[in-house]
């Protein structure tokens, strides 16, 4: 029975090793896409053409969005400038994530944005902000994965 148990343990270990190897290939691009989609979709709503901020986006940052700090509500500083930067970041960073270019920096940018969003919409933490933060941190930890421009650039620099 001891030999059979060792063989079973070895088989299970081999299966788990293969599963982990597959997950290391599949997880990064799926995480990158999953994090990119909601930010990109939001970013598209902020524009009325090339580099023309929509009036609705400006209105949100000027009148609707408030920072929830220390039990009080505070207006955002430079709301139109913040709206413009947010709109750019919500389009550019997801594109970079999907193609796997500057991946860790893009994920860090979206993690910071998630933190700011949490301060503006504190009720969204469980359904949105926590999963976004978890995906961004996982991308930062795992890196871009093999299916990315970052990996291609790295390989060419080594050659």
- Asked whether the predicted pLDDT for residue 97 surpasses 80, the reply is yes
Task: Give pLDDT tens digits for 69-84.
Answer: 999 999 999 999 999 9
12 CB-near residues (< 8 Å, 6+ apart): none
3-class secondary-structure state, position 51: coil
Q: Which band of pLDDT confidence, cut at 50, 70 and 90, is reported for residue 49?
A: confident
When pLDDT is averaged across residues 93-97 and rounded to a whole number, the result is 98
Task: Give pLDDT tens digits for 17-45.
Answer: 999 999 999 999 999 999 999 999 999 99
Q: Are 91 and 44 in contact (CB under 8 A)?
A: yes
The sign of the dihedral angle between the CA atoms of 134, 127, 100, 24 is positive
Q: What is the dihedral of CA 71, 75, 49, 42, to 10 degrees?
A: 0
Round to whole Å and give the CA distance between 20 and 10. 15
Q: Are 101 and 149 in contact (CB under 8 A)?
A: yes
pLDDT given for residue 51 in this prediction: 83
The DSSP letter of residue 122 is G
């Amino acid at each position: 029975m001891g030999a059979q148990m060792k063989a079973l343990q070895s088989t299970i270990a081999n299966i788990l090793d293969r599963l982990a190897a597959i997950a290391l290939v599949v997880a990064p691009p799926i995480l990158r896409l999953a994090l990119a989609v909601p930010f990109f979709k939001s970013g598209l709503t902020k524009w009325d053409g090339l580099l023309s901020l929509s009036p609705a986006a400006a209105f949100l940052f000027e009148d609707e969005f408030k920072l929830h700090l220390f039990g009080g509500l505070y207006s955002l500083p430079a709301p139109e400038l913040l709206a413009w930067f947010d709109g750019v970041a919500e389009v550019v960073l997801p594109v970079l994530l999907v193609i796997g270019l500057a991946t860790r920096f893009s994920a860090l940018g979206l993690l910071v944005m998630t933190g700011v969003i949490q301060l503006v919409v504190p009720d969204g933490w469980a359904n949105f902000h926590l999963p976004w933060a978890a995906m961004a941190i996982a991308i930062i930890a795992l890196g871009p994965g093999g299916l990315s421009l970052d990996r291609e650039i790295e390989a060419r620099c080594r050659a």
